[in-house]
Amino acid sequence: MTLEGARERRVRTGGVELCVAELGGPSNPTVVLVHGYPDSKEVWSEVASRLADRFHVVLYDVRGHGRSTAPKPLRGGFTLEKLTDDFLAVADAVSPDRPVHLVGHDWGSVQSWEFVTVERTKGRIASFTSMSGPSLDHFGHWINKRLTRPTPRRVGQLLGQGAKSWYVYLLHTPVLPELAWRGPLGKRWPKILERVEKVPGGDYPTSSLPTDAAHGAWLYRDNIRARLRRPRPDAYAHAPVQLITPLGDAFLSERLYDGLEEWAPELVRRTLPAKHWIPRTRPDQLVSWITEFVTANEGGPVTAGERGPVTSTGTGKYAERFGGQLVLVTGAGSGIGRATAFAFAEAGARVVAVDRDTESATRTAELARLIGAPEAWAETVDVSDGQAMEKLAAKVAGEYGVVDVLVNNAGIGLSGSFFDTTPEDWKKVLDVNLWGVIHGCRPFGKQMAERGQGGHIVNTASAAAFQPSKALPAYSTSKAAVLMLSECLRAELSGQGIGVSAICPGLVNTNITSTAHFAGVDAAEEKRRQKRSARLYGLRNYPPEKVADAILRAVVRDQAVVPVTPEARGAHLLSRFAPRALRAVARLEPPL
Amino acid sequence: MTTAVTRELSAELRGFREVQRLAYECAEAVAARLEPGVTERDAARMQRSWLRAKGVKDWFHLPFAWFGDRTAFTNFRVPLQFFPTNRRLEPGMPFILDMAPVYKGFTADIGYSGSLGANPVQDRLMADLEAHRELLLREVRERRPLREIYEDVDRLMVRQGYANRHRAYPFGVIAHKVDRVAERPWSPRLFGFGTQALKGLASDALHGHRDGWSPLWSPYRFSDHPPHPGLWAVEPHLGFRGTGAKFEEILVVTDSADPEQSAFWLDDDLPHVRRWAEDK
């Protein structure tokens, strides 16, 4: 069995016997996990075991699934009313005095929406976390709204969801689904899940799958038509709701949840770049969001309007996506790195600010906490030191967790002709700009890949990666290498749900100009050129905050190469269609 | 730091100090009356009527009020955006009041930052402004070119993690000269600036142009000169992700050879200075 250490009991209700498993201390807040279709409670095994440290975790097999018995006859035995009876019976058995926190996935979420919007469960539910399962009533209204005023966009949304619901139509045909599930489909399902949905193999799905799936077809037949035709007009949630939307869901469009705030005021939204089966593929992220939401809403029965959900969600425009995630930024003591750390902090992420200068890293972490990061730490590491980076990775994994987003940003500037650039200069610039990225990607990327729950790596390259220049041979070489490294790594990690982006900023107003080394000139001349270039970049005045914004956007959209400033975008375009123009630019003397 | 309070001030400086204190009193009085729903226009009007009632008849510029992310001049493109709008104050919002009254012929130009309820970000910005006040005085006493001091302030802001928002002011000035203004029965205003005060500034600019200095302390070449004796209204303005904070007060620059006498803040008994002292 996959639920290790679970205490089992049977709960009788409405002619069926439900198999209920419990983990964790019964005195802790109770979290009830409701599974979907075609599943049994074991779909939650990864999530449940991680939640058990802090909560009293309760899972049950929905009637007709797993080791719960099926109603007789099946037809009419799976209505939402009866499922609500089941839930109340379980809740009364496991937590008679205190309301429970509800978490539902797929059909578990569909029925939980019913629980949380009907009158008779009032005071029994403290919070509800929904994933990949809309309320059928809200869905019905969603369709009606689009049918009564069919603008092109709304028609598109209807058709889009209509196409994603193909399996719902199939499940309404008599007998055939049962035959398929008990026959070839049931046998092949684990392989299909693994290949199409990237669900890791192992002891899931359980052997009861063919029966679960055959019985579960009645969930659709008993409820879908009835509810979509006549959705309840009063389906308002009476408990705080957290909505977790996997963006790669093949069965549900994210547009389904547009305007959900009407039904669930003060809704907390989260998004996740993943496919449908997130309890299997992203347990860590779910556990952290569930923990935060449950903790925030713990304490007495909550009725809507009385007390809203209180969670440390960020305020930035990507707060849904990055709230609570762990982000590590190198070179976070200044410029683009610092702005990036702040942008993630604003989105509610936990931030590790890495810089070789302790004071500025500390400052970044301090301000990050001030603007929304629930936690932020400063680490003093020189990215060119491989061993130090390995050590940092071990420390971060041990103390803060596996990094969700890694931003390899640290870099230094070096200008001067090829023959003025000494081997030491070359070594220095490659050590930081290229090896720094390698030293970052190796341990942290490895941790991400080993965890197997996705992630993202951002490497700061430069417009100089595709714009040659006689003034920047070493710098451009290092950045071109970073660009290619990112592309290769992206290919390698694509199968594991880890994205890699290369950011090519262009001329950005940061202090890279005043710290850059100018090869082949004396100290006074170097000082003069630093000042002059700082002034030029200052006149250009492209703020690092905009680059930070582009970095967050690149992670959200999983973009491969992102030129940021207009000149960088222009150069990127020319590098593809008119490389000779770039070569001409490369010969110009910079105005220093 | 020497305190100007203990210094024997000439009658003229006392006049400037009086109007500066009056302006800060006004800012504190108006700030205490701000409540949710008050608009920037309301706040500007409150400052105006408070000062009018105390006998202010002319202005260097009319009072400004900025709420929310307008304190950091977010998306400011044209100078007209400085004028008060109908934005309403909400709990937790930062605000800045900026006024420049002329009283008995003396000009003050002050900026007062605060927030409705707690705003930890702005508190932090205000606390970090102390280093700028010290840096400005120190470098003026060292007779460094104003343009270089401007750049040093800029660098300190970047090190602190903030953006330079005085760059958004006309000519990007961190300070400008203020002077005595002739009291006239009628002084019209041009884009919110008193014509008498503008006249003074223009004549300074003309003389300065001949002698190689400027009454505007900017990042540009025309400010590449040592501090010119006179009274400077200094206004470093920090911005951080939609929150801004500034102070503005008069720095006295003289041609004395004694560094302590060569430059000093007109008054050390101001709300932000008192707050820094309390925090210590």
DSSP string, A25-39: -TTSPEEEEE--TT-
Query: What's the pLDDT score for residue A541?
Result: 86
What is the rounded CA–CA span in Å between residue B213 and residue B183?
27
Whether A313 is covered by a domain: the verdict is: no
User: Measured between alpha carbons, how far is A330 from A555 in angstroms, rounded to an integer?
Assistant: 16
Structural domain contains residue A312: no
pLDDT digit string, tens, across residues B126-153: 999 999 999 999 999 999 999 999 999 9
pLDDT at A62: 96
Which of A338, A346, A370 is best to mutate for the B interface (most B CBs within 10 A)? A370
pLDDT for the residue numbered B78:
87
* pLDDT, mean of residues A543-551: 95
pLDDT at A232 over 90: yes
- Write the pLDDT tens digit of every residue in B183-202: 888 888 888 898 888 888 89
Are residues A354 and A205 both part of a single domain?
no
Check whether residue A101 and residue A247 sit in a common domain: yes
For chain B, which domains are there?
A: 4-279 (3.90.230.10)
pLDDT at A248: 92
What value does the mean pLDDT of chain B take? 92
Alpha-carbon separation of residue A228 from A169, A220, A260, A414, B57 (angstroms)? 13, 11, 16, 65, 71
Share of chain B above pLDDT 70, in %: 97
A205 and A326 belong to one structural domain: no
How close does chain B come to A543, measured CA to CA in Å?
Answer: 9
Assess whether A388 and A492 both reside in one domain: yes
- Report the residue count for chain A: 592
Closest CA to B102 of B189, B169, B168: B189
- Is pLDDT above 70 for A373? yes
What secondary structure does DSSP assign to chain B, as a single string? ---GGGS---HHHHHHHHHHHHHHHHHHHHHHH--TT-BHHHHHHHHHHHHHHTT--EEEEEEEEEEGGGGGTTT--SGGGGS--SPBP-TT-EEEEEEEEEETTEE--EEEEEESS--HHHHHHHHHHHHHHHHHHHHHHTT--HHHHHHHHHHHHHHHT-EE-GGGSGGG-SEEEE------S---EETTEEHHHHHHHHHHHHHHHHHT--SEE-SSGGG-SPPPSEEEEE--EEEETTEEEE-BEEEEE---SSHHHHEEES-S-SHHHHHHHHH-
- Dihedral sign for Cα atoms in the order B219, B222, B227, B230: negative
Nearest to A125, CA basis, from A233, A32, A58, A19:
A32
Q: What is the rounded (10 degree) CA torsion for A542, A546, A548, A554? A: -120
Arithmetic mean of pLDDT, A518-540: 90
Rg (CA), chain B: 18
Distance (Å, rounded) from C-alpha A81 to C-alpha A115? 9
Q: Taking CA atoms, what residue in A is nearest to B120?
A: A370
Do A543 and B163 lie within an 8 Å CB cutoff?
A: yes
- Burial code (b: 16+ CB inside 10 Å, e: under 16) for A319-335 equals bbbbbbbbbbbbbbbbb
Same domain, A329 and A450: yes
Contact B241 A371 (CB under 8 A): yes
Q: Is residue A477 part of a domain?
A: yes
What's the half-sphere exposure (Cβ side, CA atoms, 13 Å) at A504?
A: 29
Closest CA to A432 of A415, A414, A410: A410
Strand partners, A405: A327, A456
Residue A501 pLDDT greater than 70, yes or no: yes
Say what the pLDDT of residue B2 is: 45
Instruction: Among A264, A296, A328, give the residue marking a domain's end.
Output: A296
- Range with lowest mean pLDDT among A422-436, A565-579, B7-21: B7-21
Q: Which residues contact B53 (CB under 8 A, 6 or more apart)?
A: none
Q: What's the gap between Cα B277 and its chain centre?
A: 20
Q: Which of A338, A358, A371 is the best residue to mutate to test the B interface, defined by the most B CB atoms within 10 Å of its own CB?
A: A371
Share of chain B above pLDDT 90, in %: 78
Cβ neighbours of B240 in A, within 8 Å: 367, 371
Assigned token pair, B212 = 């190689």
User: In this structure, is residue A249 part of a structural domain?
Assistant: yes
Task: Give strand ranges (E) for A48-94.
Answer: 56-60
Q: Give the model's confidence band at A1: pLDDT under 50 very low, under 70 low, under 90 confident, else very high.
A: very low
pLDDT at A2: 58
A-B contacts (CB, under 8 Å)? 25
| End-to-end CA separation in angstroms for chain B | 15
**Of A232, A265, A296, which residue constitutes the final position of a domain?**
A296
The answer to whether A472 touches A173, Cβ cutoff 8 Å, is no
Same domain? For A179 and A261 the reply is yes
What total number of domains does chain A contain? 2
Beta pairing class for A326-330 and A405-408: parallel
Kindly determine whether residue A371 and residue B121, on different chains, have CB atoms separated by under 8 Å.
Answer: yes
Q: Measuring CA to CA, which residue among A58, A21, A65 is closest to residue A39?
A: A65
The percent of residues in chain A predicted with pLDDT above 70, rounded, is 97
ipTM, 2 decimals?
0.89
- What is the reported pLDDT for A300? 45
A370 touches chain B (CB under 8 A): yes
- For residue A107, the domain's CATH number is 3.40.50.1820
Q: What is the pLDDT of residues A99-158, one digit of tens each?
A: 999 999 999 999 999 999 999 999 999 999 999 999 999 999 999 999 999 999 999 999
Beta pairing class for A455-460 and A405-408: parallel
Contacts of A215 (CB under 8 A, 6+ apart): A64, A65, A70, A74, A78
A591 inside domain = no
Q: Which are the contacts of B65, defined by CB distance < 8 A and separation ≥ 6?
A: B40, B41, B43, B44, B47, B84, B95, B96, B97, B98
User: What does residue B100 show for φ and ψ, rounded to 5 degrees?
Assistant: -140, 80
Q: Please report whether residue A433 resides in a domain.
A: yes
Helix, coil or strand: residue A81: helix
Q: Is the separation of the CB atoms in A292 and A312 below 8 Å?
A: yes
Find the domain containing A373 and state its range. 319-586
Query: For A370, which of B124, B158, B219 is closest by C-beta distance?
Result: B124
Residue A32 pLDDT exceeds 50: yes
Contact B160 A360 (CB under 8 A): no
CATH number at residue A354: 3.40.50.720
Q: Cα(A441)–Cα(A119) distance, rounded to whole angstroms?
A: 52
Chain A: residue whose CA lies nearest to B242: A371
Let me know whether A276 and A239 are in one domain: yes
Examine the residue annotation and report whether A169 is marked as an active-site residue of this protein: no
Contact B241 A364 (CB under 8 A): no
B243 dihedral zone (left: phi>0; alpha: psi -120 to 50; beta):
beta
Catalytic position from the list A257, A318, A475, A537: A475
In angstroms, the CA A563 to CA A576 distance is: 13
Note whether A157 and A255 are within 8 A (CB): yes
Number of other residues whose CB lies within 10 A of the CB of residue A72:
9
- Exposed/middle/buried for A26, CB within 10 Å: 0-12, 13-18, 19+? exposed
Taking CB atoms and an 8 Å cutoff, what residues of chain B touch A367? Answer: 124, 161, 240
Whether residue A246 is found in the same domain as residue A363: no
Residue A289's pLDDT is 95
A277 and A353 both lie in a single domain: no
Note the pTM of the prediction, 2 decimals. Answer: 0.91
| Average pLDDT estimate for A348-369 | 96
Q: What are the tens digits of pLDDT across the range A450-496? A: 999 999 999 999 999 999 999 999 999 999 999 999 999 999 999 89
pLDDT band per the 50, 70, 90 thresholds, residue B3 = very low
Read off the pLDDT of residues A288-317 as tens digits, 9 standing for 90 and up: 999 999 999 986 443 333 333 334 467 778
**Other C-beta atoms within 10 Å of B104: how many?**
13
Cα separation of A49 and A204, whole Å?
A: 15
* Co-location of A251 and A366 in the same domain: no
- So what's the pLDDT on residue A85? 96
Instruction: Measure Cα distances from B64 to A47, A182, B43, B101 in Å.
Output: 55, 76, 8, 12
- Residues A511, B121: C-beta atoms closer than 8 Å: no
Of A296, A311, A339, which marks where a domain is finished?
Answer: A296
> In sequence order, what DSSP letters do the residues of B167-220 get, joined into one string?
GGSGGG-SEEEE------S---EETTEEHHHHHHHHHHHHHHHHHT--SEE-SS
Average pLDDT over residues A241-252: 95
Res A202: pLDDT: 80
Q: Is A331 left (phi over 0), alpha (psi -120 to 50) or beta?
A: left
Residue B217 CA to residue B140 CA, distance in Å, equals 12
Q: Is A536 on the interface with B (CB under 8 A)?
A: no
Tokens of B179: 């002077």
Across chain A, what does the average pLDDT equal? 93
CB-CB contact of A533 with A518 (8 Å): no
**Is there a contact between A367 and B158 if contact means CB atoms under 8 Å apart?**
no
The pLDDT of residue A299 is 65
Decide if B161 and A342 are in contact by the 8 Å CB cutoff.
yes
Does the residue A564 lie in any domain?
yes
Q: Identify whether A304 is part of a domain.
A: no
pLDDT at position B85 is 95
Does A511 lie at the interface with B, CB-CB under 8 angstroms?
yes
The minimum CA-CA distance between B104 and chain A, rounded to whole Å, is 42
A513 touches chain B (CB under 8 A): no
Residue A543 near chain B (CB below 8 Å): yes
Asked if residue A460 and residue A340 are part of one domain, the reply reads yes
Same domain, A551 and A491: yes
Q: Which amino acid is present at A414?
A: L
Q: Please choose, from the candidates A65, A73, A148, A150, the residue with its C-alpha nearest in 3D space to the C-alpha of residue A111.
A: A65
Terminal CA-CA length for chain A: 71
